[in-house]
Amino acid sequence: MKYRLASDTWGSEEVDAIQRVIESGRYTMGEQVKAFEEQFAKFFDSNYAVMTNSGSSANLITIASLALNPKYKNKGNIIVPAVSWSTTYFPVHQWGYKLRFVDVDPYTFNIDVNKVEEAIDEDTAAIFTVNLLGNSSNLHDLKMLCDKHDIILLEDNCESLGASTEYNFKCGSVGEMGTFSFFFSHHMQTMEGGMVLTDDPLTYEYLKSLRAHGWIRDMADDSPLYKKSGDPFEDSFKFILPGYCVRPLEMSGAIGQEQLKKWPDMLLGRRKNAWHAVESFQKISGVRLQKEIGISSWFGFGLVLQDHLKGRRKEVINILTHCGVETRPIVAGNFMKNPVIDRLNWDSVGTFEAADDLHENGFFIGNDSISLHNEINMVSDIIGNIK
């Protein structure tokens, strides 16, 4: 491929970090993970961070902690955007909530705040917004809606590490909990890995217990969730929540520390590519680029075919693939069009013109921390020459 979705961002620092873990003899979650969590929380001005083995697992324990914590509603509906990744939705269903789909904005690709307000009722427990492809949701207005209706705001920020809102708040740190992913094709790469941020000390204790079997071993001695006996033997195998085993490897924590050091420069590289992409795609007809809210971290470049190219996505993708350009759908498109929907507890409010348009005419190409100006020019030229 001449233009890939993602490339390796590791250097000798990450390899050396792995070697240090090997030499320590401690491979499972330990001091390296703890250090990364502390550094990550500080970077985002959050009180707490809990690392997991994936962003999907981060979403899972986020929804589980919502359902199990008595200060939140443990039933009802959770409002979600019609366009996102599958594991935004599955934990909502698995923990007994009804998925309530609303449409997205056709230009930002994120949840439509006006549609959200129409969907809120007395059974609504939370809004689970998704900051899609590096782009912030309208978090200010969503937070105001949540405060008005006394419901919880959650952020799936797995695709938008480093993005900021219109008011310069860091995405993933605005809601009660925010999730991140460190998969290979994402902004930071720790082999596999995810994170949950929260400012609430009780939520932090729920997340730690749910991450590791539902036991109390990783909880603070003075935890507001459960008081330990003080006997290490008794406390080693004491279980209080129906948890999972979604802990990260110690190697991932060590790699994460090195990636975090590089992150400001990697983010700048992505934004330089984005400035060039905005300029390039504005010059051609038949396609529009995702509209930025606040400051995007540009996971990729989301494109929607329009005018003379609308309805011709298969043709356009075939041409791009033939020219060596790797592409993907806009995440899962309108998720209600996926066959798995028949197995989920869900309803919807309103119509879905924007989600359907992304489903049928949308795709994205990659972004990276290295310069992609030539590759972006190539795609722009290819699309611009399709008549």
Dist CA 156 CA 127 (whole Å): 10
Q: Are 246 and 211 in contact (CB under 8 A)?
A: yes
Dist CA 255 CA 10 (whole Å): 9
Provide the 3-class DSSP secondary structure of residue 91: helix
List of E strands, the chain: 48-52, 77-81, 98-102, 124-130, 152-156, 177-181, 194-198, 287-289, 300-305, 346-348, 362-366
Q: Are 383 and 283 in contact (CB under 8 A)?
A: no
Q: What angle do CA 335, 194, 339 make, to 5 degrees?
A: 20
Active site positions, annotated:
186
Which of 316, 287, 284, 279 is CA-nearest to residue 304?
A: 287
Q: Are 206 and 223 in contact (CB under 8 A)?
A: no
Two structure tokens written together for 45 = 């001005």
Chain position carrying tokens 């396609």:
287
* Residue 205: count of CB within 10 angstroms of its CB: 24
Two structure tokens written together for 317 = 């993708």
Dist CA 369 CA 252 (whole Å): 20
| H/E stretch holding 148 | helix 139-149
**Amino acid of residue 342:** D
